[in-house]
Amino acid sequence: MAKYLMLKHYRGPKGAVHDVPMDRWTPEEVDAHVRFMDDLADDLRASGEFVDAQALSPGGMWVRFDGEGKPPVVDGPFAETKDLIAGWMAIDVESEERALEVASVLSSAPGAGGIPIGEWLELRPFLDDRPNAVE
């Protein structure tokens, strides 16, 4: 088994096939989109592949260390050009092939007009953090 993170973006460098900002959708289209995501998570629970799902607020800021005893430097809100992560879903699957299959389903979530958005998702393998028994 291998764990993968599927990262969703509010906006990213690669756009989407059917790219209408969510705030221009009808309420029903928003509902349909949210329901699709919930259903997918339920399907993955039922198949024993679900690990985690989390949405992120688009608000936020850059923070960095600025020397001992000094307050952190803050830069925000984010510029319009920043690649902005919307959230993630983590899965535990048998193969990379299966991870691609699930990611493709997630990318087909409906947007404006009920048409699959076809957004680009980032698919990232987890590093296994457990000590290995063989060596």
Partner 1 sequence: MSALDPSLVRELAPQVIGVLVRRGADFASAEDAVQEALLAAHEQWADEPPRDPRAWLVTVAWRRHVDLVRSDASRRAREERVEREPAPGPAATSEDTLWLYFLCAHPSLSPSAATALTLRALGGLSTRQIAEAHLVPEATMAQRISRAKRTVADVPLEVPGDLSTVLRVLYLVFSEGYAGEVDLAAEAIRLARWLVALTDEPEVRGLLALFLLHHSRRPARRDADGRLVPLPEQDRSRWDREMAAEGIDLLQGALARDRLGEYQAQAAVAALHADALRAEETDWVQVVEWYDELVVLTGSPVHRLNRAVAVGEADGGAAGLRALRELDPALPRYAAVAAHLHERAGDLADAARLYAEAAAAATRTDERDHLTRQAARLAPHRRDP
Where along the sequence are the contacts to partner 1 (CB under 8 A)?
1-3, 45-52, 92, 94, 125, 127-135
Residue closer to partner 1, measured from CB, 15 or 125: 125
Closest approach of partner 1 to the CB of residue 55, in Å? 17
Residue closer to partner 1, measured from CB, 53 or 117: 53
Residue closer to partner 1, measured from CB, 68 or 97: 97
Closest approach of partner 1 to the CB of residue 14, in Å? 22
Residue closer to partner 1, measured from CB, 28 or 135: 135
Q: How far is CA 1 from CA 14, 20, 115, 125, in A?
A: 29, 36, 33, 11
Closest approach of partner 1 to the CB of residue 132, in Å? 5
The DSSP output letter for 24 is G
Q: How far apart are CA 86 and CA 29, in angstroms?
A: 18
Closest approach of partner 1 to the CB of residue 87, in Å? 17
Q: Which of 122, 116, 121, 120 is nearest to 18 (CA)?
A: 116
